[in-house]
Amino acid sequence: MKLLSILTIITTGAAYFMFGTNFLDGSFAASLQHFKAPKTVQAKIARVIDGDTVDIISKTWPSLVVRIRIRDIDTPEITNKAKCIDERLKGKAAKEFAAALLSAGDPVTLSSIKPDKYPNRLDAHIQLKDGRYFSNILIEKGHAKRWFARSPKPVWCS
């Protein structure tokens, strides 16, 4: 079973790099227009994108790597969206912390799932195998701040 999980991650990862998309076909993004979220989804981490974004695989969406934005938090940006060098450095630290906590193949539970403002992404809470919420851990360790959509983004520059 573990070998099958590893092969699934390798296969979906190869599709990501070969096709330059998070999804193996366009049906997932199209289906978000009529999205009815399940209450919870059992999933496995495929990879960490940044401090508040991960790719997952799940039997709920077979053959797809689904991008998840963690709800109700904000982490510093690591791309050119960062407003200062300090934010980019904090963002890199948040990504490294997330990657240390969430390894490829780790089981997680998604809840409060909703479509994101970006078409190929969902927003959800991520609960770890031990029952802790990933967002709370990021906040406790100083890598994230509480943030709700449509409110001003937290300030990361001194």
Q: Which of 15-24, 32-41, 76-85, 114-123 has the lowest mean pLDDT?
A: 15-24
| pLDDT at residue number 100 | 97
pLDDT for the residue 30: 53
Alpha helices (runs of H) in the chain, residue ranges in sequence order = 2-19, 27-31, 85-101, 134-140
Q: Can you give the pLDDT at residue 139?
A: 97
- Count Cα atoms within 13 angstroms, Cβ side, for 57: 22
pTM, to two decimals: 0.77
Q: How far apart are CA 112 and CA 124, in angstroms?
A: 5
pLDDT tens digits, residue range 87-113?
A: 999 999 999 999 999 999 999 999 999
Quote the mean pLDDT of the chain. Answer: 83
In tens, the pLDDT along 17-46 reads 333 444 444 555 555 555 677 889 999 999
- Which residues lie across from 74 on neighbouring strands? 145
DSSP lists the bridge partners of residue 122 as 68, 115
- Residue partners of 156: CB distance under 8 A and separation at least 6: 76, 77, 82, 83, 84, 86, 87, 90, 91
The predicted pLDDT at position 145 comes to: 96
CATH number of 2-146: 2.40.50.90
* pLDDT given at position 63: 87
On the question of pLDDT at 133 being above 90, the answer is: yes
Tell me if 138 sits within 8 A of 94, measured CB to CB: yes
Residue 28: predicted pLDDT: 56
Residue 139 makes CB contacts below 8 A (sequence gap 6+) with 73, 145, 146
